Structures are given as C-alpha cells and as structure tokens.
Amino acid sequence: NKSLAVLTSGGDSQGMNAAIRSVVRVSTQLGLNVYIVKEGYYGLITGEDYIVKANWFDVSSILSLGGTFIGTKRCMEFMTKEGRLEAARNLILLDISNLIVIGGDGSLFGANIFRKEWSSYVNELLKCGNRLISQEASEKCARLNLVGIVGSIDNDFSGTDMTIGADTALHRIIEAIDSIASTAFSHQRTFIMEVMGRTCGYLAIKSALMCEADYMFIKEWPQKLDWPEKLCKNVSLAREMGKRLNIIIVSEGAVDENGNTITSEMVKNILVDRLNQDARITVLGHVQRGGSPSAFDRTLATRMGAHAVLSILKASDETKVMCLKSNAIVESSLVDCVQATIKVAEAIKNNDFEKALEYRGPGFKN
Ligand code: ADP
C-alpha cells in the first residue's frame, strides 16, 4: 500500500512541524501518497475535510514555526472501540494503511492499541452494511503499519536520549533565567523559577546546572523533611561568599520524602521568613512550549521524520518508535519503550533512583 497519513496528538512541542515536513517531503520523494490529518485523533474519527492529501509545497515555511500547523487535540472518543472503528473506516476509505503518529506517550500508547485491533475493525466494517468498505479495500488495508515519533518538551520517554522539543524548552528556560539573573544581581534578589516537568526533572536539572542555580527541587530527588534548613544554609553561604543573587529551580513535580508537593510559594515563604530575603517567583509556564524550535530540534525532528517513512515501508508486526541513541536514529519497539517509561515512574515512586535512571537509558544519564 502506497498511502500514508501523519498526525500530531496530545501536548504540542517545538519541532513537530519539522517532523511533519520531513514525513511529507520524504514520502513525496519516494512516490507515496501522503495525507495530513488535522487535529489528531479527532480528525481521524471525523474524516472528510480533516484528512487532506499533501504535497511538497504544503509544508514550505513551517520548519521554523513552533507548535503544530495541522493542530492537535485530546480526543476521548479515540479511547473507545467505536471511535477507533470510525477512525479505521476513514483511513480505509482513502486506502491508507500506514500511519505515523507524532505525540507523547499517551498518544503512542493509543496508537499501539489501534494497530493491534486493526484487523478486527476491518472484519467488522466488511460485515457492517451501512458502513460498507469494499472487499478490495479491505484486502489492500488488511494490516496497519504504524510508527511513532515522540514530541515532548519534558524528555520523559524511555529509549530515546532526547524527545522533540526538550532542547528548545531548555533554551527558553535558560534565556529567561539569564535575563532575570541580571536584574537579580542589581537588586540582590533571589528568584524562584518554576519550570515544567511533572514526572521528569530533565529541564530542571539541566537549567539548574547551566545557570549555576543554588538549589533545585525535582520529583526524582525527594527532599528530606529538613529541606528548609538546607536551603537556607546554601543560600546564606552563597551570599556570605559575596554572591549578589540566588536562583532556585522548582520543577512542577517537586516533592518531599513523604510525597508531599513542594511549591514555589513554600520555597519563597521560607526565604522571606527565615532569611528576610527579597525573593520573587517566576512561573515560566507555556513560554517553555512556544516559539521557534532550536536548530537541534529541527534537525532531530527532520531525521526522525525521514527514518519514520523508511521504517514504515518495511512493514512490521509491531509498532515502532523512532529513538535517538548515541546520536543515531534507531527504531525501537514502542511497547518496550512504554513499559520502560512506566518502570521509571514505579522506580521513582519506590525512591529507587538508580533503577529509574537505568530504565531511562544511558543517554539520558549522561
Ligand atoms: P500525550 O500524547 O501528550 O501523552 P495524552 O496522554 O493526553 O497526551 O494523549 C493524547 C490522546 O491520545 C488522548 O486524548 C487520546 O485520544 C489518545 N490516547 C491516550 N491514551 C490512550 C489509550 N489508552 N487508548 C486510546 N487512546 C489513547
């Protein structure tokens, strides 16, 4: 089958456009019919105007844009068999049995279910009079080939050293901290920077290291209950040594050893109450997800998009996901990567951080 569709699903990330562009252009170059699906799984279920044939020039000038120009949406209907049956019907009506999904772990997990159930949808659609698909179409689309590409600013997917968007988000954070550090220096202030990363502290760790932060709070490093004393000691020591400012990084997922959330507000209050500091909070929020992708993310997404098309043509019985390993793009089993990602979460819950790092993969550890 020479037709292929690409969609983006779940939370957006910078670089998704570069991946779409690469999929469309490599497919066109190889003589395939390529379709873009608007608004993720919602578009797949709605069909008609949401599944549109694309050509080389439809993806011009999107490389430098953040977000996803074909839209993304969370779609509850795709969580149901009826929804997925409708999605299968819309693809088969267009003779499409190759699908590339660009999204986070939720989207890829859903995609894997869709691929596994595909033959049951084909059989059901053949039986079902009012939604008839032809025998010929059912034979042409007897199996679904599916490849995933991970777009996530959090770098929270096991098996790949980097996910698309994480490098750009890190740049956004570092730019913001650098800007704030200059004014903090002038006024001898302390800034508490809240960054994204509910389950993965990648953005917080890297930004803390590269901005010489004085303290950092992340999920993977639950704080002992005496963290306020430690925090005050670190911050005071820095000031005694002549530092005119302090930067504290708080990741969204920050917790203490009892699993209680540590918020930016709590950190600020400690510094104000105990050290009488002029402390301010900056929540970076969606700034981290927006704006132009970095050169690294454009390159990563372009390479993953190209490899995804080549991978899907090989037709496999399992869902593959594109991963970056030691600077090479490799195809891995999606199920293995999702299971490793789940094991990371379990290890963190059990305070076994060595195991968590092991499941994240060696590239992440470096
Ligand atoms: P992300 O892909 O960024 O992790 P979500 O977890 O919200 O985002 O998933 C995006 C969409 O993927 C959901 O709205 C739903 O349509 C689909 N999806 C997620 N999990 C499943 C699942 N278990 N079964 C079927 N579809 C799913």
Residue nearest to atom 26 of ligand 1 (CA): 110
What is the distance in A from the centroid of ligand 1 to the CA of 169? 22
Which tens digit of pLDDT belongs to each residue from 299-326? 999 999 999 999 999 978 889 999 999 9
DSSP one-letter string for 118-154: HHHHHHHHHH-GGG---HHHHHHTSS-EEEEEEB-TT
9 lines ligand 1 (CB under 6 A): yes
Residue nearest to atom 10 of ligand 1 (CA): 10
Q: What's the confidence (pLDDT) of residue 366?
A: 59
What is the distance in A from the centroid of ligand 1 to the CA of 244? 46
Q: What's the confidence (pLDDT) of residue 365?
A: 63
The Cα–Cα gap between 145 and 99 comes to 6
Mutate to test the pocket of ligand 1, among 14, 44, 74, 108 (most ligand atoms within 8 A of CB): 74
Q: What's the confidence (pLDDT) of residue 317?
A: 83
Which tens digit of pLDDT belongs to each residue from 254-309? 999 998 999 999 999 999 999 999 999 999 988 888 899 999 999 999 999 999 99
b vs e for 24-51, b when ≥16 Cβ sit within 10 Å of the residue's Cβ? bbbbbeeebbbbbbbbbbbbbbbbeebb
Ligand 1 nearest atom to the CA of residue 105, by list position? 4
Mutate to test the pocket of ligand 1, among 45, 109, 157, 341 (most ligand atoms within 8 A of CB): 109
Residue nearest to atom 17 of ligand 1 (CA): 107
Tokens of 192: 């508490």
The Cα–Cα gap between 219 and 253 comes to 5
Q: Please answer whether residues 294 and 14 qualify as being in contact, where contact means their C-beta atoms are separated by less than 8 angstroms.
A: yes
Q: Please answer whether residues 356 and 158 qualify as being in contact, where contact means their C-beta atoms are separated by less than 8 angstroms.
A: no
Amino acid at 237: L
What is the distance in A from the centroid of ligand 1 to the CA of 109? 7
User: Which residues of the chain fall below pLDDT 50?
Assistant: none
Residues forming beta bridges with residue 247, ordered by sequence position: 191
107 lines ligand 1 (CB under 6 A): yes
Ligand 1 nearest atom to the CA of residue 79, by list position? 25
The Cα–Cα gap between 181 and 247 comes to 8
What is the distance in A from the centroid of ligand 1 to the CA of 10? 6
Residues annotated as part of the active site: 154
Please count the other Cβ atoms lying within 10 Å of the Cβ belonging to residue 89: 20
110 lines ligand 1 (CB under 6 A): yes
Per the confidence metrics, is the pTM higher than 0.90? yes
